Amino acid sequence: MKTTWKIANATAIARWLVQKPSNLLWAAGGGASVAVVLMSCATTSRTMMAPPSIPGATFAGSDACAQCHEEVTRDFRTADHAKLQAKGKNAVDMGCESCHGPGSKHIEAGGGAGTIINPKKSPETCFQCHLDKKGEFSLPYSHPVLAGKMTCSDCHDPHKGNATKGGGTQLHGKNETCAECHRAQTANFVFAHDAVKEGCSTCHNPHGSVNQKMLTERNATLCLKCHTDVGTTGAASSSMGPSGNHLTRYRQGTCWSAGCHEAVHGSNTNVELRF
């Protein structure tokens, strides 16, 4: 009985492959995909990030840091990064020292910058977890973090509250972070661009972009993310201003360089964002 069942199944499989040769490729590809998934689950179930190393130093735990840095460790409970902190015995190297390195030598020396890692001096500590941001900073247009002219902490607070200063629902506060360097673009204009109210990152990638001025999109495509309507004919057209369809104007340049809306962040004289 078993022999008859095996023969019948073998015949059916052979007929299936002959009738549709692509089935063979599908079956082989599917099997390979399953194998890859199983191997991935078995070997790379999670990403392992190693804390910074300090030669000869050992981990002391965050409680030891609190002896001198009481205010920082107290406020850290509210920080986004606190969600990553392990509990119990697993917390030995997953608190302050996961970013600052093992602190035994720092404690023995009674402090001192040379005995502990200071992420403000180098972004490499942040890049241990945020490797994608390192890639963005390497793009053609970016803030000069890799050049050493800025640090991650200029815009981010790892020790208290939201990691992005003024982040979350505090849109104005988030813009204020950019305003520390870009006052002209974030001034209180009589006629403000609504996109600025939504946040600078509506148009700019603060870490880096392939586009000039760190824009998220190129040329008029950026403006059309918000300023596009689809009329009754089904054809897309720009809805900016009283002059109607703008499609013929795009060949003259970008919306802000074609002599139309030069004051892209806001204007004190013209509602159409002109100087």
How is the chain split into domains, by residue range? Answer: 62-118, 120-216, 217-275
Side chain identity at residue 194, one-letter code? D
The model's pLDDT over 12-60, given as tens digits with 9 standing for 90+, comes to 444 544 454 444 444 444 444 434 334 444 444 444 567 788 899 998 8
Q: How many CB atoms within 10 Å of residue 228?
A: 15
End-to-end CA distance of the chain: 90
Contact 249, 257 (CB under 8 A): no
What are the tens digits of pLDDT across the range 242-274? 455 566 676 677 788 877 888 999 999 999 888
Residue 144 is predicted with a pLDDT of 95
159 Cβ contact list (under 8 Å, min separation 6): 72, 75, 76, 79, 81
Residue 89: pLDDT above 70?
Answer: no
Query: Would you say the pTM of this structure is higher than 0.85?
Result: no
Lowest mean pLDDT among 112-116, 188-192, 209-213, 253-257: 253-257
User: What is the 3-state secondary structure of the chain?
Assistant: CHHHHHHHHHHHHHHHHHHCCHHHHHHHHHHHHHHHHHHHHHHCCCCCCCCCCCCCCCCCCHHHHHCCCHHHHHHHHHCHHHHHCCCHHHHCCCCCHHHHCCCHHHHHCCCCHHHCCCCCCCCHHHHCCCHHHHHHHCCCECCCCCCCCCCHHHCECCCCCCCECCCCCCHHHHHHHHHCCCCCCCCCCCEECHHHHHCHHHCECCCCECCHHHECCCCHHHHHCCCEEECCCCCEEECCCCCCCCHHHHHHCCCCCCCCCCCCCEECCCCCCCC
